[in-house]
Amino acid sequence: MLSLCMHISRKHITIFVAILILVLLTTVLFLLFKQRTITVAFRDVPESVQSAVTQQLQLLLNQLDEKAGKSKSTFRLETINYPSNTPVQQQLRQKPKVDLLICQAGLVADAATAYAFERKAGVSNSILNTMPQTVAESAKQSNSLVAAIPLLIDHYELAVSTSSDQLPFIFAGGHDSTLLALAGAIAEAAYGTETAKQLAKDATNLAAKEITTLQNVAKILAQGITSQQIPQFCLNLLQEEVAVYMSNTTPEKVFMPLSFHRTLPYESLRRHKSTFMPSNQQSRSFTAPITYAIPLTSRGKTAKTIETLLQMLTGSECQGQLANATGLAPVHATASTPDVQADDLRYWIAASNPPLPPLDKAAFATERQAADFADAFRSMVLEYVNSNTR
């Protein structure tokens, strides 16, 4: 009887061990061959950039699979949009966990970069070798790792009329980002780079009326309004209204981002030449938003794949395709550009200091904070206008 029990027990044990080994083997094979997800989040970037970057990433993933001879994709690309009224630190700690963030330079990028370094995420700084020095200097580095890789360059340009039929200087002052970008650009042009940087720091910590540089910028705009060089309605003009205005008249100057310029028809632009804010300053730092890619994971194969994707995305071929799809300037020093505006912009950035983020991105973590500050700035300008017209 004892012998029979021992025989049954050994038989059961053998079967149990065999089943356990089979389960473990199946699990290992599943983990090795299952499709993984790379989650990419976009925040505060134009739709054209979102579309172009997403398309390029998918094409590159397909290329990696073809190169490896795989019939089934190793990684699946998933994209999400982060709203602009929630601190990015909070968003990055929520599910789904993001592997790569695409955003503009400023406080959001700074916070996301700090989070990336906290997670020991980043790529080799050799990725910056093909960029103009001033673009490479704008990247965020820690030791030999880079966690904010430049992808594309936008610019708050000045479109200047080449026609004799000239009307005033206009801008979309009802668009908070454009209004604050103009304030920062005027501060840089009138008082220099360091003053513009300090303005951003002060805007983060002080009320608008407490900032001397902002008071001076408000006075400059108010003088333009009272001298009739700037229509007062520009303080509330929306971008779509600027588009309509330019289709019917030829403003002397238009302050706008290149990304908005790209949405306008040729007939609205053919009598304008794009340039930058004039200044007597010898050293310049233009208000030119850089779109960053920020890797947020250090997990084995996912992190390595993201680094490979970013190396390819910042290469000459992909940069030319991104620039052509968005109309923005590439960060690669020799990549092809879609036209003279993008080519000029890359040259201007290479020939100046690292570019500055627009004031709303440099000073505020959420869109609501920027909107409140923009409202206060409008009121300051109008107060100076009213005091000079009594």
- Distance between CA 131 and CA 315 in Å, rounded? 10
Residue 107 has pLDDT above 80, yes or no: yes
How confident is the model at residue 26, as a pLDDT?
47
DSSP labels, 321-361: HHHHHH-PEESSSS---SSHHHHHHHHHHHTSSSPBPPHHH
Cα angle value 367/139/322 (rounded, 5°): 75
How confident is the model at residue 388, as a pLDDT?
80
In 3D space, the residue among 129, 140, 167, 139 whose CA is nearest the CA of residue 251 turns out to be: 167
Structure token digits, residue 164: 């004799």
How confident is the model at residue 134, as a pLDDT?
97
Higher pLDDT, residue 22 or 299: 299
Q: In this structure, which amino acid lies at residue 322?
A: L
How confident is the model at residue 15, as a pLDDT?
65
How confident is the model at residue 3, as a pLDDT?
53
How confident is the model at residue 116, as a pLDDT?
96
Residue 31 has pLDDT above 60, yes or no: no
Residue 194 has pLDDT above 70, yes or no: yes
How confident is the model at residue 167, as a pLDDT?
73
**CB-side neighbour CA atoms (13 Å) of 366:** 11
- Distance between CA 189 and CA 89 in Å, rounded? 33
| CA 239 vs CA 4, 177, 206, 242, 260: distances in Å | 88, 11, 28, 5, 8
How confident is the model at residue 4, as a pLDDT?
46
**For 257-314, how does the pLDDT look when each residue is reduced to its tens digit (9 = 90+)?**
999 999 999 999 998 999 999 999 999 999 999 999 999 998 889 999 999 999 999 9
Structure token digits, residue 72: 């089934």
Structure token digits, residue 36: 């993984």
Residue 306 contacts residue 315 (beta carbons within 8 Å)? no
Q: What is the percent of the chain where pLDDT is above 90?
A: 82
How confident is the model at residue 100, as a pLDDT?
98
How confident is the model at residue 164, as a pLDDT?
63
| CA 388 vs CA 109, 187, 225: distances in Å | 40, 22, 10
In 3D space, the residue among 86, 267, 265, 59 whose CA is nearest the CA of residue 163 turns out to be: 267
Higher pLDDT, residue 82 or 249: 82
**For 220-254, how does the pLDDT look when each residue is reduced to its tens digit (9 = 90+)?**
999 999 999 999 999 999 999 999 999 998 899 99
| CA 353 vs CA 6, 30, 326: distances in Å | 83, 51, 24
Lowest mean pLDDT of 17-26, 118-127, 212-221, name the range.
17-26
Output the average pLDDT for the chain: 91
**For 139-164, how does the pLDDT look when each residue is reduced to its tens digit (9 = 90+)?**
999 888 999 999 999 999 999 999 86
Residue 29 has pLDDT above 50, yes or no: no
Q: Residues of 142-154 as b/e, b for ≥16 C-beta within 10 angstroms?
A: eeebbbbbbbbbb
